[in-house]
């Protein structure tokens, strides 16, 4: 990858859809994931191994994983499908499919070696912590310390299977229950624990979209002061307050090169009342390319996908760039 390469992690099929009340057909989800991969997104978050009582829309993630592992999409770089797993139960559910499908996916070592010619995808599992106690209780039904104890075997289990492990930290720039009172040092401390457990990457979630430029800068400085490397950080901005691209610019200046985004600007966490979608993939691609950065993603293709999926689920297309490109 060139120096100007920015890795976009497409979270639409998970973060974008998890909050939808009406059940979305599995075929639609698979078509969405497949089209995103073909558009050049090398990492696509495809589902969640969470309790179906808590997030009914993500029920069926096993079948989606199974389908994706059987599919071969010709891409320039190996594809990675990411799935959330908050506890050992989630890990075991993923493991069942992965063992059944042994040999049909790339391990992290094989992905890094880059010599595979079979077009097999790779798999990543992601745990999700919170920066505040109240959000941890609402999202995970336990306190932060307990959540970290539960993540350790999930991360270890993923690594033992040769998978990449990601770890989110939510509400890093504002909490629906504790407001702006989120301590960046606490975020750095949680990130350090997760990295020590073996996580390959920390995704810092501005779940509520309350983040501003100065606060983003303060958080990233605090991460650096704690010895956390930029290459171990991804930023995950929700655009509720319209600040996501500004905060992206600040993060780029700081040296961050991985960003999460969601097709059509879909998204929202069921346990973050009022929070809207993630920054739209379409807006990110346009913005990053205007800076001379390379995302490897086709703007025309994502504009079409955003228009299609928002129509399909009956939501407005929240991607300003997508609508402009299509003249809609």
Q: Which residues bind ligand HMG (CB under 6 A)?
A: 15, 18, 48-51, 54-55, 84, 86-87, 89-90, 93, 128, 139-141, 168, 170, 205, 207, 236, 238, 269-271
Min dist CB 229 to Mg ion, Å, is 23
Q: Residue 87 or residue 299: which is nearer to ligand HMG going by CB? A: 87
Token readout for 24 is 């979305």
Residues that bind Mg ion (CB under 5 A): 15
Q: Residue 48 or residue 80: which is nearer to Mg ion going by CB? A: 48
Which of Mg ion, ligand HMG, none sits in contact with 187, Cβ below 5 to 8 A by type?
none
User: In the Cβ-directed half-sphere of 272, how many Cα atoms lie within 13 Å?
Assistant: 30
- When CB distances to ligand HMG are compared, the closest residue is 205
Token readout for 87 is 């506890």
Asked if 139 and 129 touch (Cβ cutoff 8 Å), the reply is no
269 catalytic residue (yes or no):
yes
Which of ligand HMG, Mg ion, none sits in contact with 55, Cβ below 5 to 8 A by type?
ligand HMG
Alpha-carbon distances, residue 170 vs 51, 103, 195 (angstroms): 18, 34, 16
Between CA 108 and CA 110 the distance in angstroms is 5
Three-class DSSP category at 34: helix
Contacts of 5 (CB under 8 A, 6+ apart): 257, 293, 294, 295, 296
Which of Mg ion, ligand HMG, none sits in contact with 48, Cβ below 5 to 8 A by type?
ligand HMG
Which of ligand HMG, Mg ion, none sits in contact with 135, Cβ below 5 to 8 A by type?
none
Asked if 267 and 19 touch (Cβ cutoff 8 Å), the reply is yes
Q: Residue 237 or residue 287: which is nearer to ligand HMG going by CB? A: 237
Min dist CB 51 to ligand HMG, Å, is 4
Q: DSSP class of residue 15?
A: I
Min dist CB 92 to ligand HMG, Å, is 8
Point out the residues that are catalytic.
Answer: 269
């Amino acid at each position: 990858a060139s120096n100007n390469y920015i890795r976009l992690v497409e979270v639409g099929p998970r973060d974008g859809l998890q909050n939808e009340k009406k059940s979305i057909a599995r075929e639609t989800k698979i078509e969405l994931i497949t089209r995103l991969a073909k558009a050049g997104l090398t990492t696509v978050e495809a589902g969640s191994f969470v309790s179906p009582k808590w997030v009914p829309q993500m029920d069926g993630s096993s079948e989606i994983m199974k389908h994706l592992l059987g599919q071969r999409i010709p891409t320039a770089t190996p594809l990675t499908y990411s799935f959330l797993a908050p506890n050992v139960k989630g890990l075991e559910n993923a493991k069942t499919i992965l063992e059944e499908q042994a040999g049909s996916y790339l391990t992290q070592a094989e992905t890094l070696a880059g010599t595979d010619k079979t077009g097999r995808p790779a798999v990543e599992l992601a745990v999700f912590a919170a920066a505040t106690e109240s959000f941890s209780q609402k999202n995970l039904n336990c306190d932060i310390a307990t959540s970290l104890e539960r993540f350790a075997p999930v991360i270890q289990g993923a690594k033992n299977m040769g998978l990449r492990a990601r770890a989110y930290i939510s509400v890093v720039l504002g909490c629906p229950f504790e407001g702006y009172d989120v301590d960046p040092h606490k975020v750095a401390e949680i990130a350090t624990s997760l990295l020590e457990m073996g996580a390959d990457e920390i995704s810092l979630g501005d779940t509520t979209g309350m983040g501003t430029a100065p606060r983003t800068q303060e958080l990233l400085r605090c991460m650096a002061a704690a010895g956390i490397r930029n290459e171990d950080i991804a930023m995950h901005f929700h655009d509720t307050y319209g600040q996501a691209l500004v905060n992206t610019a600040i993060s780029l200046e700081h040296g961050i090169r991985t960003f999460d985004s969601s097709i059509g600007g879909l998204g929202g966490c069921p346990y973050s009342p009022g929070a809207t979608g993630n920054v739209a993939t379409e807006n990110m691609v346009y913005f990053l390319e205007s800076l001379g950065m390379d995302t490897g993603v086709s703007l025309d293709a994502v504009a079409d996908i955003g228009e299609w999926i928002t129509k399909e689920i009956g939501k407005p297309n929240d991607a300003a760039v997508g609508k402009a490109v299509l003249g809609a």
